C-alpha cells in the first residue's frame, strides 16, 4: 500500500510560478484553513514569487511561512506604485500573521469651523467630514484638540454651544461672563465683527499666530490710549493665550514626523503632527513584527499602513532610510526626508527621544504585567500565566433589557476588539444569565471549523452560585480544561475585601495591597463598565422605539392623545376596547384596529 504524499509549500508555490506574468502586482499566501499568511507586492510577480521556491535561502521565519503555504492568490496592477498602495490596504484589512502590522490604528480628531451658520461654531470633530466647513488637523489626541480649543476661546472669544442651544438662548451664558465668548446668540456682537473673530481663528490654525498677535497688540495699545483699560486688559489676556502656544514653537515645519526606536526586538514609532508651524500633538505606536525585520522595512510598512486611511502631508521626516523610498514617495505623493542638520533635525531628535522613552515605559509595564500574571497563576493554581483572560458580567433593571458582557485582558492589556455583548431575553435571574452567556460563548468553540481563540482563565463576576452554574454548563459541554474563578464583593460591597471562589477550595481573599488584587479589580471593573454602558445603550434604544409607531394609520396627533391618556405605550397595548374608545379622536373602528394589533 502506497501512502499518498501532499506537496510541500515550496512545490505549491512553484506550481503557480509557471503561469505568473512578469508584471507588477500583489500576492497572498494562504494556509490550509484559508487564512492569509502574508501579503506582498512585486515589481515583477514571476521573479518575486519564484524566490520562495528555494526556502533554504530564506530566513527561518520565511521558511516557516513557506512550509505553511497551501494556496496563493494574485492581482496584477499597472504600476509598482499601485501595487504598494494595494498591499498596504490589504495588510490593514487582513492583518496577516507574517506581515509587519500597525496596531491601535484609531482615527484622529480635527477642529471644525462650521460653514453652515451665520455665526460659525468652532468644535472638535471625529469621523467622516460630512458637515460643511473648514477642518484643521489632524491632532494626535482629544486632549491636544481641547488644549487648542481652549486657546481659541480665550484669544478669539468664539462660541462653543451647539446650534440647537444657540437658537434657544435668551440671555448670555457663563462663557460670556468669563470673556470666552462674545454672545452672538443674543446679538451682543454683530455678524461682521464675529466674522472677524472667526477669520483670526482661521489664520491662527493656519500658522499665522504671530501676525494675529501683532494685530492684538496694536488694538491693546489703541484701547489703552483711549483710556479704555477694561478692553485693553481683555486684549492683554488674549495675547497671553497666544504667547503660551508660541512658546512651544521652536522650528517652522509643516508635516509629520515618524521616528523609529528599537531595543531587544521591540519597536516604537513616535508620530508627531505639525500644521501651520504648530505642534498638534504626538502618539506612540508599537508595530508587530518578527525580530529579524530590518528598521528600513518596519518603518516603510508602518508609514504605508498609517496613511492608508488618512490625509498625507506634503513632507514626512524619518530617522531611517525607508525601503523603496522613491516608490513610497510617489505612491503617497509626498516628500520623505531624513534631515542631518538644522531645525528639522532637532525636531526629529525630539521625536526619537520620545520614541525611546515610550518604548522603555512599555517594556517596564509589560515586565510588571508579566510578573502580575505569574503571581496570579500561583494564587489560582494555574499551570502557566494566562495569555487570555475572559471576564463575564451582566446588567439589567428588574429583569428588563437584560444584557451580558465579556471583556478580554492579557499581557498587553485590554483587547477591546475581542469584547462581546450578549443580548438576552428579559430575565432577573443573574445565575441563569451567566449560564446562557457561557453556553453561547463555548458552543461555537467546540465546532471543528472554528479558529476562535480559547481562554486560559474565566473570571466570573459573582459568588458560589454563579460559579456552580458556569461549571455545570462547562461539564454539560464537555469542557474540562479551562480554569474558572468567581470574584464577589466583600462585606458591604467594599473594594479590597473581595472573595474568590475556585472549584475544590474554600473561598479566600487576597492581601489588600497585593498587586494581583488591584489587577483583578481593574479588569472586573472594566467588565462592569462595559456591561453598564452597553445596557444603557440598549435601554435608550428601546425607550426611543415606540410600539405605537408600528400601528397602521395612527398619526402623531392620535399617538399623542393615547400617550397622554394612558401614560405609556405599554399601557395602551394592555388596554381594552372600551378604554381605547374613551380617548379623544379614537373612533370605535380605530380602537378595534389598535386592540387587534396588540392582541392578535
Q: Is the dihedral of CA 192, 194, 197, 201 positive or negative?
A: negative
Task: Choose between 251 and 350: higher pLDDT.
Answer: 350
Does the residue 87 lie in any domain? yes
In this structure, are 394 and 535 located in the same domain? yes
Domain for residue 133, yes or no? Answer: no
Q: At what angle do helices 9-17 and 60-68 cross, to 10 degrees?
A: 80
Match 521626516 to its residue by C-alpha cell: 317
Segment 150-175 mean pLDDT? 85
- For residue 203, give the 3-state DSSP assignment: helix
Domain identity same for 413 and 513: yes
Report how far residue 363's alpha carbon sits from residue 574's, in angstroms, rounded to the nearest whole number: 62
Residue 57 lies in a domain: yes
- Going by pLDDT thresholds of 50, 70 and 90, the confidence category of residue 25 is very high
Q: Is 322 found in the same domain as 421?
A: no
- Mean of pLDDT over the chain: 84
Query: Last residue of some domain: 94, 117, 136?
Result: 94
The answer to whether the predicted template modeling score (pTM) of the entire model surpasses 0.85 is no
In tens, the pLDDT along 324-341 reads: 899 999 999 999 999 999
CB 74 within 8 A of CB 19: no
Domain boundary among 524, 542, 560: 542
- Find, among 197, 215, 88, the residue nearest to 152 by Cα: 197
Q: Judge whether 384 lies within some domain.
A: no
Strand, coil or helix: what is 554? Answer: coil
CA dihedral 20, 21, 22, 23 (to 10 degrees): -110
Q: Are 422 and 440 in contact (CB under 8 A)?
A: yes
| 13 and 46 part of one domain | yes
Q: Is 158 inside a domain boundary? A: no
Residues 417 and 552 in one domain: no
- 403 plus 538 within the same structural domain: yes
Does 533 share its domain with 551?
no
Dihedral of CA 375/380/383/389: which sign?
negative
Work out how many domains the chain is built from and give that number: 4
Tell me the C-alpha distance between 454 and 445, whole Å.
Answer: 7
Encode pLDDT of 391-450 as tens digits: 998 876 555 567 889 999 988 888 888 899 888 765 567 788 888 889 888 888 877 544
Same domain, 572 and 503: no
Q: What CATH number does the domain containing 442 carry?
A: 3.30.420.340
20-34, 154-168, 202-216: least confidently modelled range:
202-216
Segments forming the whole domain that contains residue 312: 255-361
**β-bridge partners, 565:** none
Q: Please tell me whether residues 339 and 434 are part of one structural domain.
A: no
Q: Which domain CATH number covers 349? A: 3.30.420
- Write the CATH number for 39: 3.40.1440.10
> Of the residues 94, 119, 143, which one is the last residue of a structural domain?
94
DSSP, collapsed to helix, strand or coil, labels residue 539 as: helix
Residue 529 shares a structural domain with residue 562: no
pLDDT at 449: 47
Residue 305 lies in a domain: yes
Whether residue 433 sits in one domain with residue 527: yes
Amino acid at each position: 500500500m502506497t501512502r499518498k504524499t501532499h506537496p510541500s509549500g515550496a512545490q505549491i508555490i512553484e506550481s503557480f510560478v509557471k503561469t505568473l506574468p512578469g508584471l507588477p502586482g500583489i500576492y497572498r499566501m494562504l494556509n490550509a484553513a484559508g487564512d492569509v499568511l502574508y501579503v506582498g507586492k512585486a515589481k515583477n510577480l514571476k521573479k518575486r514569487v519564484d524566490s520562495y521556491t528555494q526556502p533554504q535561502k530564506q530566513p527561518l521565519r520565511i521558511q516557516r511561512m513557506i512550509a505553511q503555504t497551501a494556496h496563493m492568490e494574485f492581482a496584477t496592477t499597472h504600476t509598482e506604485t499601485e501595487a504598494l498602495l494595494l498591499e498596504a490596504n490589504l495588510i490593514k484589512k487582513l492583518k496577516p500573521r507574517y506581515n509587519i502590522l500597525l496596531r491601535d490604528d484609531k482615527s484622529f480628531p480635527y477642529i471644525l469651523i462650521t460653514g453652515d451658520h451665520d455665526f460659525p461654531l468652532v468644535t472638535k470633530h471625529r469621523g467622516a467630514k460630512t458637515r460643511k466647513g473648514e477642518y484643521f488637523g489632524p491632532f494626535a489626541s482629544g486632549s491636544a484638540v481641547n488644549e487648542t480649543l481652549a486657546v481659541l476661546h480665550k484669544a478669539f472669544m468664539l462660541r462653543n454651544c451647539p446650534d440647537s442651544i444657540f437658537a434657544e438662548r435668551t440671555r448670555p451664558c457663563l462663557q460670556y461672563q468669563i470673556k470666552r465668548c462674545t454672545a452672538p446668540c443674543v446679538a451682543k456682537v454683530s455678524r461682521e465683527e464675529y466674522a472677524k473673530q472667526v477669520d483670526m481663528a482661521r489664520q491662527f490654525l493656519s500658522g499665522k499666530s504671530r501676525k494675529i498677535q501683532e494685530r492684538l497688540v496694536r488694538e491693546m495699545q489703541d484701547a489703552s490710549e483711549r483710556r479704555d483699560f477694561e478692553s485693553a486688559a481683555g486684549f492683554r489676556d488674549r495675547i497671553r493665550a497666544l504667547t503660551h502656544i508660541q512658546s512651544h514653537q521652536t522650528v517652522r515645519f509643516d508635516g509629520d514626523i515618524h521616528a523609529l526606536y528599537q531595543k531587544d526586538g521591540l519597536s516604537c514609532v513616535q508620530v508627531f503632527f505639525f500644521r501651520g508651524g504648530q505642534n498638534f500633538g504626538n502618539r506612540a505606536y508599537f508595530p508587530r513584527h518578527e525580530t529579524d525585520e530590518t528598521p528600513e522595512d518596519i518603518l516603510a510598512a508602518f508609514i504605508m499602513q498609517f496613511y492608508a486611511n488618512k490625509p498625507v502631508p506634503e513632507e514626512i521626516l524619518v530617522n531611517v532610510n525607508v525601503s523603496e523610498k522613491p516608490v513610497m514617495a510617489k505612491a503617497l505623493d509626498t516628500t520623505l526626508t531624513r534631515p542631518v542638520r538644522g531645525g528639522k533635525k532637532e525636531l526629529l531628535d525630539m521625536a526619537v527621544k520620545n520614541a525611546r522613552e515610550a518604548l522603555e515605559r512599555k517594556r517596564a509595564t509589560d515586565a510588571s504585567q508579566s510578573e502580575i500574571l505569574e503571581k496570579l497563576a500561583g494564587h489560582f493554581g494555574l499551570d502557566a500565566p494566562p495569555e487570555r483572560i475572559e471576564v463575564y458580567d451582566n446588567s439589567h433593571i428588574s429583569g428588563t433589557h437584560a444584557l451580558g458582557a465579556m471583556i478580554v485582558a492579557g499581557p498587553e492589556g485590554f483587547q477591546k476588539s475581542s469584547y462581546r455583548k450578549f443580548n438576552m431575553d428579559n430575565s432577573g435571574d443573574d445565575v441563569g444569565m451567566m449560564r446562557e452567556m457561557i453556553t453561547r460563548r463555548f458552543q461555537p468553540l467546540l465546532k471543528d471549523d472554528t479558529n476562535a481563540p480559547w481562554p486560559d482563565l474565566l473570571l466570573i463576576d459573582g459568588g458560589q452560585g454563579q460559579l456552580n452554574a458556569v461549571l455545570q454548563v462547562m461539564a454539560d459541554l464537555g469542557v474540562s480544561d479551562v480554569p474558572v474563578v468567581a470574584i464577589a464583593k466583600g462585606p458591604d460591597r467594599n473594594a479590597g475585601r473581595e472573595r474568590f471562589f475556585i472549584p475544590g477550595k474554600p473561598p479566600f481573599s487576597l492581601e489588600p495591597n497585593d498587586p494581583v488584587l488591584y489587577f483583578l479589580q481593574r479588569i472586573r471593573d472594566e467588565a462592569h463598565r462595559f456591561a453598564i454602558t452597553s445596557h444603557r445603550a440598549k435601554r435608550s434604544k428601546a425607550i426611543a422605539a415606540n410600539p405605537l409607531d408600528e400601528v397602521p394609520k395612527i398619526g402623531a396627533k392620535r399617538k399623542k392623545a393615547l400617550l397622554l391618556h394612558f401614560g405609556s405605550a405599554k399601557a395602551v397595548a394592555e388596554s381594552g376596547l372600551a378604554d381605547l374608545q374613551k380617548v379623544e379622536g379614537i373612533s370605535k373602528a380605530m380602537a378595534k384596529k389598535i386592540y387587534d394589533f396588540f392582541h392578535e
